[in-house]
Amino acid sequence: MCSSSDVVFRSRWLWSRFMPQLSYSPVKGLYLYGGVGTGKTMLMDLFYEQLPCSWRKKRIHFHAFMLNVHSRLRKHQGVSDPLEVVALEISDESILLCLDEFMVTDVADALILNRLFRHLFGNGVVLVSTSNRAPDNLYEGGLQRDLFLPFIATLKERCVVHEIGSAVDYRKLSSAEQGFYFIGKDLPGLLEAKFQLLIGKSKARPQEVEVVMGRTLKVPLGANGCAYFHFDELCDRPLGAADYFGLFKRFHTLALEGVPIFGLHNRTAAYRFVTLVDVMYENKARLLCTAVGSPIELFERIVTVGDAQQMAPRTSSRSRKNDDLDLCVDNELGFAKDRTISRLTEMNSKEYLEQHSTLLQENHWQVRE
């Protein structure tokens, strides 16, 4: 008995035998890259919003897009070429695909991107994307990167690559607020008190949110659209983008206690924190937190290879400080930290918080007690 995906695939295959098709989209896409806060996402969103509503178009964060791809692949297990079926489904839904924050860190993503996008481009899909990295620097230092390199060639062939060269981080020009990001190593009871002010008369209790494939995420305390976590509960456990997207479908505000200084000893937690901030920013969520240092101080021990080489004479001396022993040399994290620092700064600005309040009034989130 044939599955629905088999029927769709065979129908499309038979039709393609009779109808001549282009081997690629006649229109090249656009790959915008550059430093943080330079307006890449704003430009892409302006472009997207000006297109007619009748167009088959999709605007999605890269994390969410890849989660969707892997979910579809699981659904089509057993098909001879599930990637081709997934590409057919995506191209049936959207001829224009806008991907924000193209950043490849997962080997599972890296190994399928070339075949996936060759199918998509062959189906006529046009890609518009933003990234902090130039195409040649994507997945730099990643496992089995040689298998990823053909995708870079495909990307450069099918997209116009343009750098946004501004040195100004416009997110940091917003009006800073001091009421949601608290710095200190010992702030007993502070976050709980602020959290209670936000939830008002609602009673906080443990909750669960649906994530993907029947999985759930336990929320230690939640009420009135606000969730309370200790840092370790959200970033020092095997969680990822899927869990965070599920969380912010239900909650518009996160109270996060005890964000640490990041270094070699907690590099994995740093990656999760970067992903958490990306997902919060994408969902326009509000962050209330206590942290050991300012956003810049949190990431001072995270450096790129280039930064480390410049520091080498100092760090190789016998008199180096203990802090240098915790230095984390990681290109992906070293580049991503600038975006996270920028976003944390903007998320604490008057403009961002006012936008959050407006969305809250419009019932943007599915708030449930």
Q: How open is the CA angle 16-18-22, to the nearest 5 degrees?
A: 50
Residues 137-165, mean pLDDT to the nearest whole number: 92
Return the percentage of the chain with pLDDT > 70, whole number.
84
> Would you report the helix, strand and coil content of the chain in percent, each value rounded to 5?
50, 20, 35
With 90 as the cut, is the pLDDT of residue 305 above it? no
Residue-wise pLDDT for 104-144, tens only, equals 988 889 999 999 999 999 999 999 999 989 999 999 888 88
With 80 as the cut, is the pLDDT of residue 23 above it? no
Task: Supply the pLDDT for residue 174.
Answer: 53
With 70 as the cut, is the pLDDT of residue 317 above it? no
**What is this structure's pTM?**
0.73
Residues 331-351, mean pLDDT to the nearest whole number: 90
Choice among 248-252, 257-261, 275-279, 322-326 with the minimum mean pLDDT: 322-326
Question: What is the residue-averaged pLDDT of the chain?
Answer: 85
Task: Quickly count: other Cβ atoms within 10 Å of residue 276's Cβ.
Answer: 26
Residue-wise pLDDT for 221-230, tens only, equals 999 999 999 9
H, E, C per residue of 257-321: EEECCCCHHHHHHHHHHHHHHHHHHHCCCEEEEEECCCHHHHCCCEECHHHHHHHHHHHCCCCCC
